[in-house]
Structure 1
Amino acid sequence: MNYLITVPSGLLQDTIKLPASKSISNRALILNALSYSPYDIQNLSDCDDTEVMVAALNSNGNHFDIKAAGTAMRFLTAFLSKIIGEWTITGTERMRNRPIRLLVDALTALGARIEYIEKEGYPPLRIFGSALQGGEIALNGGVSSQYISALLMVAPLMENGLTLRLEGEIISRPYINITLELMKQFGVAASWEGNVIRVAPQEYTPIPFTVESDWSAASYWYTISALSSCPQELHGLYKNSLQGDAAGAKLFKQLGMETEFTAQGVRLLPGGARCQELIYDFVHEPDLAQTFAVACVLLNTPFRFTGLQSLKIKETDRIAALIAETRKLGYVLRETENNGLKWDGERCEPDKEPVIATYEDHRMAMAFAPAAVVRSEGIRIAEPGVVSKSYPHFWNDLQKVGFKII
């Protein structure tokens, strides 16, 4: 199945209520459960990743299929290691080929007992939940921040707490900060000095909690506004956001976009001066890389991106996927040393009727959809249902402002 997306009559200015932050929703759910809270989390994301987390936490069973939800796989693996009982957790074929050994090894060193059911180093897992001793471990700071966050959230409930020493370059630092800040709001103190995070044994405090809207989702609307020169208003975003991807507002300024904060969220104002070349290190905002790669080529702005280490272990190898799919539109992107990506303006013959493959990756679909603004023939997106992973009403929102989808 694929969608043909066109913009037959230009775009309209409208108000978009963005989905709630998936990153905050999934962390808040774990912390809410660990605090034995009587409160329901407000404004939870309605995406697939959050729904499988809710289903697992509310389940009376001991077997969990988290489908393609990487966040849920990592967070629940650590969470279930602390919950007395025998549990199994699995997912889609792609999920069963996403590595989890680093997290399992770390949990094992802290007292967990976890077995691989099929392939060594990969889900599905059998987890024998018990009290965790905790202690001190070292972990490569260049791995997914979800491994680190998973460990940190269960750390205060370990008998000896946790001293986590991060080795090498620490990527996705804002996501670790989100975790620590949310832990603080739920009553747990932690210290982060240099490359060492310490969490002493302590208990969580239940609190009422409301999730803010998703800055990652906002990035696609920045691209749409930049390409169409049509302002848009996005509700639910905070200027002092916990989310690292809020940095996208400042980065889009280099692509001519101004951001005006309002009481309800932000107003996007296109038409400013654009940079000659966008050079940026995405080490702290890897989920924005696809958005900016596509936005830059469509705006004819060369770029050079670094800090993309984690993109190879996401829903797909996002670097390879970007290179393959932008080529269908006539742009030649190249991978650089140390998992970087660049475009120097090189073109090729585009496909006559390109269909953008999405690789079971929601961000591929949403990053490429804005291409319909500048392509008179529109753009075809394969397997468009993947957006349900983080932004289920994305296509409906596009139709509100004038996109036609068939």
Structure 2
Amino acid sequence: MIYKVQPPADLYINTSVQLPASKSISNRVLILNALSKNDIYFIENLSDSDDTQALQYALQSDDVDFDIGAAGTSMRFLTAYLSQRKGNWSITGTERMKNRPIWILTDALCQLGAEISFLEKKGFPPLYIVGKKLRGGSISLDGGISSQYISALMMIAPVLEQGLTMQLEGIIISRPYIGMTIRLMEVFGIRVEWEENIIWIRPQLYRMHSSFKVESDWSAASYWYEIIALASKDSLIELLGLEENSIQGDAQGRFLFEKLGVQTMFDVFTTLGERKEISTTLSPILPRFTGEMLSYNFVNEPDLVQTFVVSCCLLNIPFCFKGLQSLRIKETDRITALQKEMRKLGYLIRIKDCTGDTMEWKGERCKQEDNPVILTYEDHRMAMAFAPVCLKLKKISIDTPEVVSKSYPNYWRDLEQAGFIITNCN
């Protein structure tokens, strides 16, 4: 399937968007809720993304064999969770999932007493797990790996016989996601100690004392920030459900978007003194970055890289972005994907050093394709980051647009509501 996306008339946008719930929060809360064996209190506003639905099904079903599709978070969290749950389990996924390494997590779990084997290729899904009570103990992990490995281990730590002491070696990436896990574990009655590069979690009982409402997704909000940055100057977008003091790391993106000319204003609607909804209004009235090169380290917000690469190029803002080491093991190799697809639009993106940690654009251009079709590589963020390109190019085609269901199923519907024209070219 290919969608042709065209902008609203005069590039003017005035819309209100009910953003999806945070997938990152939803998936963590589902695991924590299962560990607490809670059947009294409710989780409100769960994400309707493919990833969350896959995890929710696995946790609630009586099956022992699970296919979680392309849900990377679910694969990692479920691997740790099933390792400590008595039974024999198998987990598989898409072909891309079968090529996403998981051996760092499985090795750590086996050091803690788990029994996990690889059904096809060593170090990769599908997995066979013999779940049992785990002894726990002390382990060391590279702090530069995916924070999902660290969070997966942290969440099962309280139910391990000896708890968990985790030494994180080197530079820790995606710190806000580890912080999110700690904050949510505290909601479920768990105390976590984190000092410098060491995390201690003693054996404890999970307890949920009230219902929990998942906040809206700041990662999803970033695409609307991109749209405002590229739209006409009198446009206005209202985003519903975002928390100003969010536990999501991607909330920091709003400060970087100020450099791209986007202003954020928060309002709280109340009824009889009770807070009902938060309204976040975006408007393009701030002056844009005028320096020689916009530099930023995305080590804590890697999911925003695609959005900012596309936005900066189309606004003709040279950039140097660091902290990209985790992008090659996402849904796709996002660094290579960005280079290939931006070249179709006439932009030459360079990798600055041999580590692949830094990407830059100094204004270098090449010939733009006449009718570029953006490939998504089974990556939802490629589709959502490139769709707003139509605001500058008048139209853009997106291949396999349905991948947005991984985190934001209503993305195309919300674009249409905002005045974009979406045409199925099949």
Q: TM-score, normalised by structure 1?
A: 0.99
User: For residue 322 of structure 1, what is the amino acid of its counterpart?
Assistant: L
Q: 2:281 aligns with which of 250, 264, 267?
A: 267
User: For residue 89 of structure 2, what is the amino acid of its counterpart?
Assistant: W
Distance (Å, rounded) in 2 between the aligned partners of 1:209 and 1:89: 28
SS in 1 for 2:397: strand
Larger mean CA deviation between 74-83 and 276-285 belongs to: 276-285
> Aligned residue for 1:352?
370
Distance (Å, rounded) in 2 between the aligned partners of 1:307 and 1:274: 23
Confirm or deny: 8 A CA contact 1:238 1:265 kept in the other structure. no
> Aligned residue for 1:369?
387
Distance (Å, rounded) in 2 between the aligned partners of 1:198 and 1:270: 45
User: For residue 272 of structure 1, what is the amino acid of its counterpart?
Assistant: L
SS in 1 for 2:144: coil
> Aligned residue for 1:190?
192
> Aligned residue for 1:335?
351
Please give the per-residue CA displacement for 1:376-404, whole angstroms capped at 9, x wherever unaligned.
2x000000000000000000000111100
> Aligned residue for 1:400?
417
Please give the per-residue CA displacement for 1:118-144, whole angstroms capped at 9, x wherever unaligned.
100000000000011000000000000
1:209-288 counterparts in 2 under 5 A? Answer: 209-228=212-231, 229=233, 230-263=235-268, 264-275=278-289, 276=291, 277-288=293-304
> Aligned residue for 1:300?
316
Distance (Å, rounded) in 2 between the aligned partners of 1:185 and 1:241: 15
User: For residue 163 of structure 2, what is the amino acid of its counterpart?
Assistant: G
1:34-53 counterparts in 2 under 5 A? Answer: 34-38=35-39, 39-53=41-55
> Aligned residue for 1:65?
67
Please give the per-residue CA displacement for 1:51-107, whole angstroms capped at 9, x wherever unaligned.
001110111010000000000000000000010000000000000010000000000
Instruction: Report the CA distance between 1:11 and its aligned residue.
Output: 3.1
Distance (Å, rounded) in 1 between the aligned partners of 2:7 and 2:280: 24
Distance (Å, rounded) in 1 between the aligned partners of 2:140 and 2:162: 16
Instruction: Report the CA distance between 1:31 and its aligned residue.
Output: 0.3
Instruction: Report the CA distance between 1:210 and its aligned residue.
Output: 0.6
Distance (Å, rounded) in 2 between the aligned partners of 1:269 and 1:132: 52
SS in 1 for 2:5: strand
User: For residue 268 of structure 1, what is the amino acid of its counterpart?
Assistant: L
SS in 2 for 1:182: helix
> Aligned residue for 2:405?
388
Instruction: Report the CA distance between 1:8 and its aligned residue.
Output: 4.7
Please give the per-residue CA displacement for 1:302-341, whole angstroms capped at 9, x wherever unaligned.
1100000000000000000000001100011011223211
Larger mean CA deviation between 9-18 and 63-72 belongs to: 9-18
Distance (Å, rounded) in 2 between the aligned partners of 1:136 and 1:8: 56
> Aligned residue for 1:21?
22
Confirm or deny: 8 A CA contact 1:188 1:202 kept in the other structure. yes
Distance (Å, rounded) in 1 between the aligned partners of 2:184 and 2:372: 43
Confirm or deny: 8 A CA contact 1:11 1:403 kept in the other structure. no
Instruction: Report the CA distance between 1:271 and its aligned residue.
Output: 2.4
Distance (Å, rounded) in 1 between the aligned partners of 2:64 and 2:106: 19
Larger mean CA deviation between 259-268 and 116-125 belongs to: 259-268
User: For residue 214 of structure 2, what is the amino acid of its counterpart?
Assistant: V
Give the total of aligned pairs.
Answer: 405
> Aligned residue for 2:273?
none
Distance (Å, rounded) in 1 between the aligned partners of 2:38 and 2:242: 26
Confirm or deny: 8 A CA contact 1:74 1:147 kept in the other structure. yes
Q: 1:132 aligns with which of 107, 131, 134?
A: 134
Instruction: Report the CA distance between 1:208 and its aligned residue.
Output: 1.1
User: For residue 285 of structure 2, what is the amino acid of its counterpart?
Assistant: G
Confirm or deny: 8 A CA contact 1:11 1:401 kept in the other structure. no
Gaps of 5+ in 1: none
Distance (Å, rounded) in 1 between the aligned partners of 2:20 and 2:385: 16
Structure 1 segments, 4+ long, off by >4 Å, are none
SS in 2 for 1:14: strand
SS in 2 for 1:374: helix
Instruction: Say whether residues 1:155 and 2:173 are aligned partners.
Output: no
Distance (Å, rounded) in 2 between the aligned partners of 1:49 and 1:298: 31
Distance (Å, rounded) in 1 between the aligned partners of 2:213 and 2:78: 21
Distance (Å, rounded) in 1 between the aligned partners of 2:396 and 2:48: 26
Q: TM-score, normalised by structure 2?
A: 0.94
- RMSD of the alignment, in Å? 0.8
Distance (Å, rounded) in 2 between the aligned partners of 1:223 and 1:355: 20
Distance (Å, rounded) in 2 between the aligned partners of 1:20 and 1:324: 31
User: For residue 364 of structure 1, what is the amino acid of its counterpart?
Assistant: M
User: For residue 119 of structure 1, what is the amino acid of its counterpart?
Assistant: K
User: For residue 287 of structure 2, what is the amino acid of its counterpart?
Assistant: A
Please give the per-residue CA displacement for 1:255-299, whole angstroms capped at 9, x wherever unaligned.
111110111231102121111332100000000000000000011
Confirm or deny: 8 A CA contact 1:6 1:403 kept in the other structure. yes
> Aligned residue for 2:271?
none
Distance (Å, rounded) in 2 between the aligned partners of 1:40 and 1:85: 26
> Aligned residue for 1:12?
13
> Aligned residue for 1:2?
2
